[in-house]
Each structure stands twice: as C-alpha cells, then as structure tokens.
Structure 1
Amino acid sequence: MADDFPAPGMALTHILVVSDIDAARTFYRDVLGASIEREYGGTSIVLRFLESWLLLVTGGGPTDDKPDTAMETPAEPNRVSHAMTIRVPDCQAAYATLKARGAIFLTPPVDRGPEIRCFFRDPDGHLFEISEAVGKA
C-alpha cells in the first residue's frame, strides 16, 4: 500500500564507496568512533554511527540490479556533490579530538556567525563537516 512508506522499522543506510576497505575501517572506527556491525567478504562493512547506518563498499561495475551504474570513489575530492554534517555541541573540542585521532582538516574551525564549522575528508575524499550552531540564522 502506498501509505506504508516510510513505515515503522525502516532505516536509511548511507553507502560510501572506498578504495581500501582496511584503511576505511580504521578511519571510521578509530577516527570517527563508528561501531562495526558486520563485515562481508572483505568488500563491505556495515557501521553504526550517530543513530545512522553507514555501508562502506569497494567499487565495482554494473550489476543486474543496477545496470549501467558503476560504484566509484570521488573522482575529484575538491568538487563535491555530497557531504555529511555532524552537528556538535563544541566545534573546537570536536576538532581537537578528531585531529588528535588522525583526521586531516581543510582548515581549523571558522566562525561564520550562526555557526562554527570546519571540514575534513575520509581516506577516499568523502567530505565531512563538523558544525556548532551558536546563534540564530
């Protein structure tokens, strides 16, 4: 029935294509603090992070259920069509923690008035933002 979507029990999983599953596991577990839920044959890892699901998969060509569609890592990390924001209570503290764990930031936190934010990438170039709301927009 059309009224059953979305329905209780559904969850959104975000898929990220990675080139090196071991490096990705290390980054998402040790830097971001995600928990590993499952791993499949050395080509994919299911993670739980901030009440969300992340699925890390190695790239590949089309399959019968996604014909003409290849899964690839970001081709040009400086040209972004997608990013994820992590809302934090203290951007400076989150920045310090993540940097100490090995995250490489584009810049230190920048105060933009209603928010303080900064950006970093995973080993394959997927862009993440940490953002602290500090005022009214």
Structure 2
Amino acid sequence: MDVAAVTHILVVSDPARSADWWTDTLGALVFRSYGSSVVLDLHGSWLLLVTGGEPTADKPSVTFAPPDTPDRVGHALTLRVTDCRAAYDELRGKGAVFLTPPHDWGAEVRCFLRDPDGHLVELSEAR
C-alpha cells in the first residue's frame, strides 16, 4: 500500500465555527471548503471537518455524529510542541479552555483542551 497522506475526519456541528477555532486557536490553514465540509492543513497534517450524516452505500451501518459525551474519547489529536507551558499560555490568551494546566510526567509535559464540539486535543512536550 502506497499512502500519500493521512487525513483525520472530525464530525462537527458547525463547520464554519469549528474552522474558525482550528485556524484562530491552533494555527490551521483552510485548504478548501466544499458543501458543508472544510479541509484544513494542520501543521502538515490534513484535518477534514464534516457535518454528521446517515449511513451510505460505502458505510451501510455507520452514522457520523459529533461526540455526545465529551468525557468518553474514541479519538484524540496530539500536537507535539517544543514548550508545553508556553503553548498553554499562548492558547489560553486566544480563549482556549484547558482541562488542567500542563502536567509534568518526567519524560513528557502535557495538557488537554477541547474544540467547540468537544474533540480532545493534547499538547505534548517530549523531554
């Protein structure tokens, strides 16, 4: 298998609001929009924001929906940063809400925040 790129799909309730958050807060760039979907370049990775939808012919038993319980996570994004505490301060200045301040685990400093639909984003500084 020859993979050209990996794209993370996030199901969101309002693609425009989510795109604003991902661009304004985390520095993503809008690559393109089509229909109700927005494609973002998130520091070299692709992030596709889509609205929910019913099953389709290629996914006959799968319904796309934003998270309904933010404290039960099936997918999270990790952003590796050079200085977790500085990133925490910068993003809080942009209105980001974190679960806790950065925690030092010895080999790693990390903290977590959520996007407008509750998707979990980890900031991680490896030591």
Q: Could you say which TM-score interval applies, normalised by the shorter chain?
A: over 0.9
Residue of structure 1 equivalent to 2:29: 35
Identify the residue that residue 56 of structure 1 maps to in structure 2: 49
Find the counterpart in structure 2 of residue 6 from structure 1.
Answer: 2
Q: How far, CA to CA, are the matches of 1:34 and 1:78 in structure 2?
A: 25
Out of 70, 93, 102, the residue aligned to residue 95 of structure 2 is 102
Where do 5+ consecutive residues of structure 1 fail to align?
none
Partner of 1:93: 86
* Deviation (angstroms), 1:26: 0.9
Q: How much has 1:13 moved relative to structure 2? A: 0.8
Secondary structure of 2:112's aligned partner? strand
TM-superposed CA distance for 1:19, in Å, is 0.4
Match of 2:115 among 113, 116, 122: 122
2:72 is aligned to 79
Structure 2 Cα separation of the partners of residues 21 and 86 of structure 1: 21
Counterparts of 1:72 and 1:129 in 2: how far apart (Å)?
A: 21
> Identity percentage over the alignment?
57
Partner of 2:15: 21
Tell me the TM-score normalised to structure 1 length: 0.89
Post-superposition, which runs of at least 4 consecutive aligned residues in structure 1 deviate over 4 A? none
Q: Secondary structure at the match of 2:24?
A: helix
TM-superposed CA distance for 1:6, in Å, is 2.2
CA displacement 1:94-136 (0-9 Å, x = unmatched): 00111111211000111111111100000001001001112xx
Count of aligned residue pairs for this structure pair:
127
Instruction: Indicate the residue corresponding to 2:63 in structure 1.
Output: 70
Cα deviation, residue 84, structure 1: 1.1
TM-score (norm 2): 0.96
- Structure with the greater alpha carbon radius of gyration: 1
- In structure 2, what residue type is equivalent to 1:46? V
